[in-house]
């Protein structure tokens, strides 16, 4: 395989040789497309000509009546409007597939098949095409044809049951974690399939189910039950038997998360507290002992943290090598010197908002880092660029398709 020295082209993005056709809408599929676009893939997002992806309307705050979520989830993509329910629209997709590497969709199973865009058909057009399918329950099994949202996948995958306080019903994480996890695993699967294609020359189907993506994050939950007869419960801010690791109050009314459950770190914490004898106390001398006396230990630490201002407490903990951190919201992220030094928040030009800030690309590649090239596009902004430049349609042909509500 030929290699390229990034130093020869510092603007080169690592996935710029991949073209992705993104079909579907909302979050589970589009977030996968965002991840690939962040590293340079040419993601062509196909949207309904009438209203586009509903994400264009989602979000709590809507300055100028516009979504603040859309510019993030569609960043770096090209928008093309195609009516996928028409034969001509489906033929346009086939033409795009012939020149692409990945087709990404998150429709209910059977939808592509009804449109004549099933994998065997796509493979005849392009043997190397990778079809990435994101659904609630996957492409097979008795639940495959059920409607499935991210929230349902979170419930069935196990994360909802263990999230929240023990005296409250199961809670959500505050973000669409099920959709995002499925999208992240879909992006991983897509790149694995593309890598395998370099060996075999063949594409394949990547079948990502939301509930399975959540299940994959549930640590030892299954063997804890099958071998230990233990069912994890909601525990709020603490992880049972892992102590100390909790949120503690400070004198000035803030909260600080301190994680010192490892023996050596706990010893350093007791020195910071001025109570080194706690490290030798039989109730706290080992990981197991601290776990068994977790509540008692948390009370001791909370009394100490409540006697100090947040800044003084942080300085003391850092001096003793004890992991700690404040609970951040957006305002704290925007002013934190570490966030600023690593450029975790970037500013992009937006046609309606002016300067717009959002999170940067992760993970951070030292040789070929990703880059956010532009915010989510206007509906159909790249119709002529893609349909004309890539597919070779004339201005008159595109106009005729528009008149027939195909694009």
Catalytic residue among 179, 298, 336, 405: 179
Q: Are 394 and 63 in contact (CB under 8 A)?
A: no
In DSSP terms, 45 is beta-bridged to 22, 79
Structure tokens at 3: 């290699």
The three-state (H, E, C) secondary structure of the chain, written as one string: CCCCCHHHCCCCCCCCCCEEEECCCCCHHHHHHHHHHHCCCEEEEEECCCCCCHHHCCCCCCHHHCCCCHHHHCCCEEEEECCCCCHHHHHHHHHHHCCCCEEEECCCCCHHHHCCCCHHHHHHHCCCCEEEEEECCCCCCCCCCCCCCHHHHHHHHCCCCCCCCCCCCCCCCCCCHHHHHHHHHHHHHHHHHHHHHHHHCCCCEEEEEHHHHHHCCCCCHHHHHHCCCCCCCCCCCCCCCCCCEEEEECCCCCEEEEECCCHHHHHHHHHHHCCHHHHHCCCCCCHHHHHHCHHHHHHHHHHHHCCCCHHHHHHHHHHCCCCEEECCCHHHHHHCHHHHHCCCEEEEEECCCEEEEEECCCCCCCCCCCCCCCCCCCCCCCHHHHHHCCCCCCHHHHHHHHHCCCC
Torsion of CA 191, 193, 198, 204, to 10 degrees: -150
In DSSP terms, 206 is beta-bridged to 132
303-306-309 Cα angle (round to 5): 150
Active site residue 53: no
Question: Where does residue 407 rank: exposed (0-12), middle (13-18), buried (19+ CB within 10 A)?
Answer: buried
Catalytically active residues are: 179
């Amino acid at each position: 395989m030929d290699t390229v020295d990034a130093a020869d082209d510092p603007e080169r993005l690592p996935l710029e040789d991949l073209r992705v056709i993104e079909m579907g809408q909302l979050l589970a599929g589009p977030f996968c497309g965002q991840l690939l676009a962040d590293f340079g893939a040419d993601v062509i997002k196909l949207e309904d000509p009438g209203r586009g992806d509903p994400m264009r309307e989602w979000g709590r705050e809507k300055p100028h009546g516009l979504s603040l979520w859309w510019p993030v989830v569609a960043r770096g993509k090209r928008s093309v409007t195609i009516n996928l329910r028409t034969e001509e629209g489906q033929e346009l997709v086939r033409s795009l597939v012939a020149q692409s590497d990945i087709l990404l969709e998150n429709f209910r199973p059977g939808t592509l098949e009804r449109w004549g865009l099933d994998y065997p058909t796509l493979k005849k057009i392009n043997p190397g095409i990778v079809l990435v399918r994101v659904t609630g329950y996957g492409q097979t099994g008795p639940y495959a044809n059920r409607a499935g949202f991210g929230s349902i996948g979170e419930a069935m995958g196990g994360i909802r049951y263990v999230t929240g306080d023990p005296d409250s019903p199961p809670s959500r994480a505050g973000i669409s974690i099920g959709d995002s996890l499925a999208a992240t695993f879909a992006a991983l699967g897509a790149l694995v399939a593309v890598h395998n294609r370099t060996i075999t020359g063949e594409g394949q189907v990547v079948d990502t189910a939301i509930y399975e993506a959540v299940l994959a994050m549930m640590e030892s939950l299954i063997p804890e039950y099958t071998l230990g007869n233990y069912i994890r419960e909601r525990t709020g801010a603490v992880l049972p038997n892992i102590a100390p690791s909790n949120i503690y109050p400070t004198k000035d009314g803030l909260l600080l998360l301190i994680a010192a459950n490892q023996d050596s770190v706990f010893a350093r914490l007791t020195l910071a507290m001025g109570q080194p004898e706690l490290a030798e106390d039989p109730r706290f001398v080992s990981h197991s002992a601290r776990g068994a006396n977790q509540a008692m230990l948390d009370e001791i630490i909370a009394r100490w943290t409540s006697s100090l201002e947040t800044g003084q407490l942080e300085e003391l903990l850092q001096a003793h090598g004890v992991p700690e951190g404040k609970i951040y919201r957006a305002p704290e992220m925007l002013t934190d010197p570490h966030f600023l030094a690593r450029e975790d928040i970037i500013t992009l030009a937006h046609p309606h908002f002016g300067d717009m800030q959002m999170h940067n690309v992760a993970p951070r590649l030292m040789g070929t880092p990703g880059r956010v090239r532009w915010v989510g596009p206007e509906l159909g902004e790249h119709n002529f660029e893609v349909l004309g430049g890539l597919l070779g349609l004339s201005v008159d042909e595109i106009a005729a398709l528009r008149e027939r509500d195909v694009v």
